[in-house]
Amino acid sequence: MSAPRQLRAPVLLPPALEVSYDVDEFGRPTIAAVVNLGEDYQGPPGSVHGGYLAAMFDNLLGVLPYRLTGSKGTFTGRLTVRYRSLTPLSTDLVLTGKVTDARSRRVTAAGQCHADGVLTAEAEGLFVRPASDGR
């Protein structure tokens, strides 16, 4: 049996995103951010770990319900990420997101990640505002 080895501890949080806001042709909020990740965020050799992409999408898309309603306190009900190709390290990544539906306390949003014009990942999330009575 080989000697036990320790795994290097990863960076615990995705980087803070500086975002810009706009609205689409229907008046729904959109969001965009550019981030460049170094080797601390590596998964496959030379590529961003998918968990960091998922966390960035959660952070980015989770802001949209607030922008739509002005009501803070939503939580993620579901987040689905599709990895389309490896996302390179040390490259400007353009993350975009938009609200796709809003009903009652539920808001769905979709996002994309591009590197050098190539779609590397896309996400869809369901975000829910808590009931006003705390239930």
Contact status, residue 111 vs residue 96, Cβ threshold 8 Å: yes
Q: Choose between 100 and 70: higher pLDDT.
A: 100
- What gap in Å lies between CA 65 and CA 108, rounded to an integer? 8
Structure tokens at 14: 């995705």
Q: Which CATH architecture has domain 19-128?
A: Roll (3.10)
pLDDT single digits (tens) 78-101: 999 999 999 999 999 999 999 999
pLDDT single digits (tens) 9-64: 555 677 888 899 999 898 888 999 999 999 999 999 999 999 999 999 999 999 88
Residue-range domain boundaries for the chain: 19-128
Is residue 95 classed exposed, middle or buried when 0-12, 13-18 and 19+ CB atoms within 10 A define those classes? buried
Check residue 60 and give left, alpha or beta (phi > 0: left; psi -120 to 50: alpha).
alpha
pTM, rounded to two decimals? 0.86
Contact status, residue 122 vs residue 56, Cβ threshold 8 Å: no
Is residue 127 classed exposed, middle or buried when 0-12, 13-18 and 19+ CB atoms within 10 A define those classes? buried
Q: What pLDDT does 18 receive?
A: 86
